[in-house]
Structure 1
């Protein structure tokens, strides 16, 4: 038993207390029956008390890029990779970030990816997934979730509205401000022509809740620069 436990008694520095040191195998045998919530609570408590353990947790959590990579959709056609990285740099150090372009035309495909150095930066970004970039409200989620991330929890067809008959002078900012009075908006913008960058006279607004979308539909005041 002593060989398995591999205990040794050391003198604690300065106070003469005895410290029992266990082998890794013995600690594993103690931890193995615990449920995940118990393990999380234990590590969180130890991490808050000992900085070295906190750094170890941070390193392990950030080891897999899948926990650090964001998929960003709804980008303006003129948004560059530099602009994308600058918009998300407020949450932490970025390891890699780029807008995805069509190989044939060389034009933006309207989405991109951001990979942070640490997972906690990704978590900070996900707390406010919608971000106004170059006049369009882009939205992000974990890249491993793709298009079926947070939006999958609600019926997208009931939350997304088509806004037609817009005047050419109506910008995405104006559109978002007008419909924002009905509730939080997840994503939305005026549709622009890829070649001329001129308004196509319509746009889309996706609310976070079905209730907000219904309020917008039922609102009799719908004169936002309509033609």
Structure 2
């Protein structure tokens, strides 16, 4: 990095914490910040702060994801209204555009080998399911399907 650019960034306070800008201010430890956060009464505002930070900082998003992803019911969708010739590959192809998939399966009739008209999609991350749910009806193989969460909470 060009040191003159870095100096300008530092002079403007970009990328610096309050204690970096003023060495007389002691640095807060994570435990200190936890004490401050613990005293916040309005949890809705705290959630807004976390959501805002997660949308701007990948490390915060990763931490939020790791907590949210532990509940697989939040990542699993039930797809109903599938055509008889819809395949698992077709389902996987459509839903992978919303995020990385852990599993996608069309439930087949054992005797005929044809779709029973429904299936399941499980995303690796909860945000894939969230994006897919923004459009709850999808056209798959010429049929309009309904896509709710598998186990609503």
Is the TM-score greater than 0.5? yes
Match of 2:31 among 23, 45, 68: 23
User: How big is each residue's C-alpha offset from its partner over 1:106-151, in whole Å with a ceiling of 9 and x where there is no partner?
Assistant: 4321000001111111111111111111111112010003xxx9xx
Per the alignment, in what secondary structure is the counterpart of residue 128 of structure 1?
Answer: coil
> Match of 2:137?
130
Tell me: CA distance 1:48–1:85, structure 2 relative to 1, closer, same or farther (3 Å).
Answer: closer
Per the alignment, in what secondary structure is the counterpart of residue 58 of structure 1?
Answer: helix
| Alpha-carbon separation, structure 1, partners of 2:98 and 2:30 | 39
> Match of 2:84?
77
1:39 to 2:46 alignment: yes
| Alpha-carbon separation, structure 2, partners of 1:84 and 1:67 | 19
Higher relative contact order (CA 8 A, sep 6+): 2
Instruction: Give TM-score, length-normalised by structure 2.
Output: 0.73
Larger Rg: 1
Specify every segment of 5 or more residues in structure 1 that has no aligned partner in the other structure, as ranges: 1-11, 150-227
Residue 14 of structure 1 and its aligned partner are, at CA, apart by 7.1
Tell me: CA distance 1:46–1:100, structure 2 relative to 1, closer, same or farther (3 Å).
Answer: same
Q: Determine if contact 2:88/2:104 at 8 Å carries over to the other structure.
A: yes
Specify every segment of 5 or more residues in structure 2 that has no aligned partner in the other structure, as ranges: 1-18
Mapping of 1:49-198 within 5 angstroms?
A: 50-145=57-152
Residue 104 of structure 1 and its aligned partner are, at CA, apart by 4.7
Q: How many residues get paired?
A: 135
User: How big is each residue's C-alpha offset from its partner over 1:24-78, in whole Å with a ceiling of 9 and x where there is no partner?
Assistant: 8x82685376344133113123334543222211222222111111000000011
Backbone CA RMSD of aligned residues: 2.8
